[in-house]
Amino acid sequence: MSTNRTPRFFQLHRLDDAALADEAAAGLLQPQAAVPPKFFYDALGSRLFDAITELAEYYPTRTEAEIFERHGAAIAASALREAGRRR
pLDDT confidence of residue 76? 92
Each of the 87 residues of the chain gets a pLDDT tens digit; together they read: 556 666 676 666 677 889 889 999 999 999 999 888 778 777 788 788 888 888 888 888 788 889 999 999 999 999 999 888 877
pLDDT confidence of residue 75? 92
Task: Give the pTM.
Answer: 0.37
pLDDT confidence of residue 39? 80
pLDDT confidence of residue 9? 67
What gap in Å lies between CA 84 and CA 69, rounded to an integer? 24
